[in-house]
Structure 1
């Protein structure tokens, strides 16, 4: 899996959406910033939740984006793997399949093969 290419494709797609739907995407961006900012849960904790949801709903872009952001915010491998484990619990077999993708992204971004 080429994680950098996945992230690049996502960013290009969001850029195109922003041109076609500027008000919608501004609203989405504002919502994202409001939700992910530190509150009762830290931004890092919220990114871990987002990883779990991304795995459970089987969204490869969500997995790549939120694993990258969680790492940027200081999440450890163990924290990310536990979030993936919760997703498998909640999402069953399909989530287990996408859990492998989350680990591939994590390994790629952490410099492991």
Structure 2
């Protein structure tokens, strides 16, 4: 079981990113625009894109990604089964380390869902 509080983690990251938005406005605006473009419209619905992002976050071992994408999925009313299916793909693609981060993603999703 992960000891990380993903609510605290995402809050802390958001606070730190606020500083970067002040000192690196063009970079942060550009990153935000990439995110908007990648997650909007297209042939794949928004929830599926978030599931893909969560799986990539697990496979790349990004705790912040796990937190933010789990939060988004919880707000989109993703089911536990949908999240677990995405995590199964992440495990397949990332091997043993992804198993450990998949467990963290389960904890993050459950924390935001409650």
- Which of 22, 25, 29 is matched with 1:22 structurally? 25
Q: TM-score, normalised by structure 2?
A: 0.92
* Gaps in structure 1 of 5+ consecutive residues: none
Distance 2:39 2:76 in 1: 11
Q: Stretches of 4+ moved more than 6 A in 1?
A: none
RMSD over aligned Cα atoms: 1.0
Q: TM-score, normalised by structure 1?
A: 0.93
Distance 2:113 2:74 in 1: 8
Higher relative contact order (CA 8 A, sep 6+): 2
- Which of 13, 30, 47 is matched with 1:44 structurally? 47
1:71 and 2:93 correspond: no
- Which of 39, 56, 60 is matched with 2:59 structurally? 56
Give aligned pairs, total.
111
* Gaps in structure 2 of 5+ consecutive residues: none
Correspondence list, 1:6-17, <5 A: 6-17=9-20
